[in-house]
Structure 1
């Protein structure tokens, strides 16, 4: 009979983390030590402030409320359901209980001795990580360590062996050439070409006597600068080398090296001992090495986009980028790398769309060939956070033209903006429901009008103006004359400085969405309509963080930082007292971005609405843990901007 009971306990436990991480032998030891308790509704299992018992609990059947008492008032922090682990303070630190456990329905509870489980903790890293990530129920702490949650998600998932879209987290996976061919600046072209031919390499680094890199010469340089220009082969290396060189440290993570190559359109990246050009050359990474190792890489996709103006082909390449994105997300590739890659791909599409539009209009509007303009991305794309092809938010700003050209300029730039938007629509980007796109004449305006827009929004912060601010304040210049965007940014910050009260209105707006946990610590789901009982991850979790980051960065007068997690990084530097909170907020946002994108790829939509019941226990707890920085930041904003006076 005893064995039958142990087996039943074992079969139940193995269905739930962290017990699902145990081997059969470990699980049998735990199951054999379990004590089974039946408690009736209203009974207390333990009290807040009591010394921790020498065991923790797993709910087998029924319901348990975890309650916090503050100033004599009870507040339900969480309701445990089947398989939840709780009362873990004995395990984690042997401190008094911070919550009371009260039986909400008649319940069967398994009690597991800490003594037996401590041995498991020492041997099983996954189990230790489960508790370190704060996945047990009722762990009321000041702040969850979300970096542990990110790590746990990667460790707990099944390994993916599909290398069809290889992307590596560090350079150990790829061969970096350590034998670098070098020459001095006074080496003749004939001599260096012979050296390259003998070594069978496509590049040679021009270096100083100390071995510091001065420039680089590639096969392409020999073709374009020597053969095409009929330059004498007796000419010197210094005359044809590409300089200055971009360098990185060899020990840099592969994602950093590779992203440097992509962003700077480099075919060869020089590696030095300390990462600067004032250090000896110790390696070189070529795009050929990368492509041999990576197959269908971002470089391949970007190269394909840059070499086509066929919209159908551009759409096909962007579809392939979505497959790559899925692989990155499922394999826990760093979110800053993923976001940077997808932003670069989206930006290249926009730049190609601009080429198409300019080409189609140049004959009809020759007078605007040299008129300065800038295409702006806003919203998530402006913040470099648009992973899926969700709503496009964009606009166009152009320099003020003479009175006689104003009407025709408005006509030309609207046609230009409309053409760009149409290419993006054809490439699968959704249309903006609010029509905030460069195909709407309201958002295709000269610089003076844009300045007036922002001045009006700041000086008269109506609800509509605040809504505009949440989109337009995150603009980013994608292509064209970036000086116009910089001038507009400076104008905005000058206006904000003149009317500091605007920040208080913006702060009110940032508190419009409370931390997304309901009374019983469940997800706040939609109550009616098409998405009833679904969780709106954008409005309830992501927007509060983007709004708070934007507000706080604006309050510090920081210009040019639009990305949400980079804003939190900057805030951590500016306010060291809150460094841990801002770091956690940034990590929370990364986790939310990943979850939304994965949901969107799975459902074939924007990923905005999630069915909580479809999430596994670990996913649910990780998502809940991302909410704690929201409420803490909102409390700080409430006090800092004196919002009680606005009520």
Structure 2
């Protein structure tokens, strides 16, 4: 440790209320019994194993405090910042008034950033408790801690009543942020910044420019390090001391996604934005005080998984799905949450595939590439792991040599992605719609020629390929290449109106059942009278109609709900009709999820067919209304032929 750092730490200890009133000799004697320790980030400390461990003071850095629950899992109690102390629960024991409460529990500290900490043993605490000022200090600290405990407990009880185990996956940044965020102009003086923090009782301010655009962030730590500790005498302004590299979060981000940013980047203050406008701020400490770290487990499981342990990720996501279904979270909301988790898993598999090729001597991708999902995963409907549906696009090589290298590399990458997804639980596609097949990978030019071929030869096979392709969604790779690819697809489809016409005719050949007659008279045969296929009779027609209408209105590569919004914006659908379609879509998905999840729990084969004898009359009526709405959408498309 540098001499200057040693002096700074010594001064912080000397200024602590526990030691402040002591003489130099007394302080020297007491500090000799204490132990100054340095810990590295992520280091774990098993503290409070005995009553003699005393108090633990964070001099520099921060740490998380965990306690082991009945299942043997660590649950987050609190986050300790610089100057904070843990161990006050032992005070009653030192005064011989109560048994030591932590004898029944296992407490653990995890260091969040490199830290200097002081362990103050029980022997020192007992000697200092005779001083009234020390007793008042400890009483004050314990009162504050008790208040925080009750506030946190009340918040968790409230959230448990409202959301159950799903709270961390349902709450969004906008529900948790402090708003409005306190801002200050980039030319504000240090005095103005400090006064603003004191007046507002906040630990950070957002810095904005003349246009009210967010340009920086200033925390109490910035003031200490960049003003007081720097020793600069010249006048400083906000722009001189602010942190310019900002991490922001959308107001629509989920609780667990916000936590992921805090952990990944090690920040403690996070501006919340809507589009590009600042709407609030979240602090790490406040966020964690509302819920334990259990919501992070599934993210950690995904992000740290290797090829060997990819299979455990599926079960982690299924646990989340089970909680969402049990807590009766809406179907659309449930699928949005689960889709984000599956997207993380899929991206992680592609990343691992690229790393695998590099480890085996194939190097890095020779040209930029983009990876896309199709089918239920792309539409955001995949609530349980199904089969694979995806393709690869890579930039046009510059010459013959680069072409050969690119074709070889992406053939290997296509196979490697399929292998990794298979390891994660995704079965190989029976129709071979995966990039280990030449038809589902290629350069930008290859894909343009492929689409031209489909359009010129509008066979049943090509129309089927077109339906599947048009559900694509960009998930991994270079955004600039994705923009060029989407632009190419839009231009190609504009000149392929005949192909779209034939796609629409397919809908005419497969009309959605209507219910002007008896419900069961529409289906022929004993088995058909008892069953309806939610995928065949509802979801496929709905998706196909939205896809074709989207292409006609220059909207591609989006989820169904976003497609509906886009079609309303383009005046293709009325707002009222769009609401009906959204409702029909949710009814169809809800029926599919509830039925399939029950079969999954019973260990039965997954199916999209609904047996009428297994549902109630009101559910039949709801299905009837839903199918009538999908039929109306189909009629709307056919009217445009």
Bucket of the pairwise TM-score, normalised by the shorter protein:
0.5 to 0.7
Which residues of 2 match residues 226-305 of structure 1 at below 5 A?
A: 238=239, 240-242=242-244, 246=248, 258=255, 261=258, 268-270=269-271, 283-286=280-283, 289-295=286-292, 300-305=297-302
Report the structure, 1 or 2, having the larger helix content: 2
Which residues of 2 match residues 448-527 of structure 1 at below 5 A?
A: 448-517=445-514, 520-522=518-520
- Partner secondary structure for residue 640 of structure 1: coil
Moved more, 239-248 or 425-434: 239-248
Cα distance per residue 1:383-411 (max 9 Å; x no partner):
23322212220011112223224344323
Distance 1:608 1:166 in 2: 29
**TM-score, with structure 1 as normaliser:** 0.61
Are 1:566 and 2:562 an aligned pair? yes
Is the Cα–Cα contact under 8 Å of residues 329 and 594 in structure 1 kept in the other structure? no
* Residue aligning to 2:631: 631
Is the Cα–Cα contact under 8 Å of residues 188 and 233 in structure 1 kept in the other structure? no
* Residue aligning to 1:411: 408
Distance 2:621 2:435 in 1: 41
Q: CA deviation at 1:525?
A: 6.6
Are 1:546 and 2:517 an aligned pair? no
Q: CA deviation at 1:453?
A: 1.0
* Residue aligning to 2:381: 385
Is the Cα–Cα contact under 8 Å of residues 187 and 238 in structure 2 kept in the other structure? yes
Distance 1:451 1:419 in 2: 25
* Residue aligning to 2:425: 428
* Residue aligning to 1:575: 571
Distance 1:421 1:526 in 2: 40
* Residue aligning to 2:206: 205
Is the Cα–Cα contact under 8 Å of residues 298 and 341 in structure 1 kept in the other structure? no
- Partner secondary structure for residue 241 of structure 1: coil
* Residue aligning to 2:77: none
Is the Cα–Cα contact under 8 Å of residues 166 and 297 in structure 1 kept in the other structure? no
Moved more, 295-304 or 535-544: 295-304
Cα distance per residue 1:442-461 (max 9 Å; x no partner):
31222211111111112221
Distance 1:276 1:233 in 2: 39
> CA 1:210–1:487 in 2, change beyond 3 Å: closer, same or farther?
closer
Higher relative contact order (CA 8 A, sep 6+): 1
Q: CA deviation at 1:286?
A: 4.0
Distance 1:516 1:296 in 2: 48
Distance 1:569 1:464 in 2: 30
* Residue aligning to 1:617: 617
Pick from 344, 348, 360 the counterpart of residue 344 of structure 2.
348
Distance 2:405 2:627 in 1: 50
Cα distance per residue 1:457-477 (max 9 Å; x no partner):
122211111100111112122
Which residues of 2 match residues 43-54 of structure 1 at below 5 A?
A: none
Distance 1:171 1:523 in 2: 47
Distance 2:522 2:217 in 1: 57
Is the Cα–Cα contact under 8 Å of residues 172 and 255 in structure 2 kept in the other structure? no
Is the Cα–Cα contact under 8 Å of residues 183 and 206 in structure 1 kept in the other structure? yes
Is the Cα–Cα contact under 8 Å of residues 448 and 492 in structure 2 kept in the other structure? no
Distance 1:573 1:378 in 2: 25
Is the Cα–Cα contact under 8 Å of residues 458 and 495 in structure 1 kept in the other structure? no
> CA 1:516–1:554 in 2, change beyond 3 Å: closer, same or farther?
same
Q: CA deviation at 1:338?
A: 2.9
Q: CA deviation at 1:606?
A: 4.3
> CA 1:213–1:490 in 2, change beyond 3 Å: closer, same or farther?
closer
Is the Cα–Cα contact under 8 Å of residues 417 and 439 in structure 1 kept in the other structure? yes
* Residue aligning to 1:339: 335
* Residue aligning to 1:128: none
* Residue aligning to 1:64: none
* Residue aligning to 1:556: 553
Is the Cα–Cα contact under 8 Å of residues 366 and 405 in structure 2 kept in the other structure? no
Distance 1:360 1:600 in 2: 35
RMSD: 4.4
Q: CA deviation at 1:599?
A: 1.8
> CA 1:606–1:415 in 2, change beyond 3 Å: closer, same or farther?
farther
Q: CA deviation at 1:538?
A: 0.9
Distance 1:420 1:577 in 2: 38
Distance 1:496 1:353 in 2: 31
Distance 1:371 1:380 in 2: 29
Distance 1:505 1:390 in 2: 29
**TM-score, with structure 2 as normaliser:** 0.62
Q: CA deviation at 1:542?
A: 0.4
Distance 1:420 1:193 in 2: 53
Structure 1: which 5+ residue stretches go unaligned?
Answer: 1-158, 642-647
Q: CA deviation at 1:509?
A: 1.9
Distance 2:571 2:406 in 1: 46
* Residue aligning to 1:645: none
